[in-house]
Amino acid sequence: MEKIRVALVDDQQLVRAGFAMVIGSQPDMEVVLEAGDGNQAVRLLPSYDVDVVLMDVRMPGLDGIAATQEVLAAPRPADRPVPRVVILTTFDLDEYVFSAIKAGASGFLLKDTPPDEMLAAIRTVHAGDAVIAPSSTRRLIEHVATSMPVADRTPAAVLDALTEREREVLVLIARGRTNSEIASDLFVAEATVKTHVGRILAKLGARDRVQIVVTAYETGLITPGL
C-alpha cells in the first residue's frame, strides 16, 4: 500500500507530537516532515515528497497563510507532487479562513478535532474529493464567504457558464455531498457526477471543491443553513 505522506507545521512541539502519534498509527499514512514555523516549512517542503500538509495558521515569523501561498507557488521537479494544505484553525480565527482559501488551502481542521475526523480529512483531501467533509469546514466557509465585503465577492455572472445540471451539482457539493451521494440524489452514475464536477472546476477556474463551494456562497446560489 502506498502511504499518504504527511507534513506537520506547527510551532507547538506537543501538538506536532500528538498529531504524529495518531497519523503514525495508521497503516496508510506516515509523517515525513515536521516544521516548527512557516519559514522552516517554506525552506524544507520543496525538497520532500509530501501529499498533505497540516499547517497551523498562527505561528511566529511567517504565518500559516503566507507559508501556504509560498509553499504552493515554489518551483519543484515535475515528478514531485504539489501538496494539498489543510489549515489548522479555531473558531476565533474565522477571519483567516478566506485568506487561506485564496492562498491555496484545500481544507480546514479545528485543533481539537477528534482523531478519527482528522484522519478522515487527510484521506479526503489526499483523494481530491469532498474536501468540505470535515464538520467544521462547511460552517467556516458559510461564515467567511457570506461575511466578505460585496466588492470582494465573486460576481453571480460567473455562474452563467454553467448548465442547469451543473448548477444542481454545485449546490449539492456546497451542501457537503460526496460524489456518490450526489449520484444517488440525481439518479445518475458516479462517473457522470465526476464529469460534471470536472466541468464546473474548469468553467469557474477553480482549483478544487473548496473554491467552488466558496463561489456558491459568494454568488448567492446557496445561502447558509440550506
Over the stretch 39-76, which tens digit does the pLDDT of each residue have? Answer: 999 999 988 999 999 999 888 889 888 999 899 888 87
CATH classification of 4-143, choosing from 1.10.287.610, 3.40.50.2300, 3.20.20.370, 3.40.640.10?
A: 3.40.50.2300
Please check whether residue 126 is in contact with residue 4, taking contact to mean a CB–CB distance below 8 angstroms: yes
- Give the pLDDT score at 157: 85
Q: Which three cell numbers stand for residue 138?
A: 462547511
Give the DSSP H or E segment for 110: strand 107-110
The single-letter DSSP state of residue 196 is: H
Domain ranges of the chain: 4-143, 156-219
Q: How far apart are CA 112 and CA 155, in angstroms?
A: 35
Give the DSSP H or E segment for 146: helix 135-147
Q: How far apart are CA 4 and CA 1, in angstroms?
A: 9
Per CATH, 4-143 and 156-219 having the same topology is answered no
Q: How far apart are CA 31 and CA 20, in angstroms?
A: 6
Please check whether residue 107 is in contact with residue 75, taking contact to mean a CB–CB distance below 8 angstroms: no
Rg of the chain in Å (alpha carbons): 17
Please check whether residue 201 is in contact with residue 158, taking contact to mean a CB–CB distance below 8 angstroms: no
- Give the pLDDT score at 95: 60
Low-confidence ranges of the chain (pLDDT < 50): 130, 133-135
Q: Domain 156-219 - what CATH class? A: mainly alpha
Residue 108 amino acid letter: F
Paired sense of beta strands 4-9 and 107-110, if any = unpaired
Task: Note the pTM of the prediction, 2 decimals.
Answer: 0.74
- Cell numbers 477553480: residue: 206
Please check whether residue 172 is in contact with residue 190, taking contact to mean a CB–CB distance below 8 angstroms: no
- Give the pLDDT score at 164: 95
- Cell numbers 470536472: residue: 198
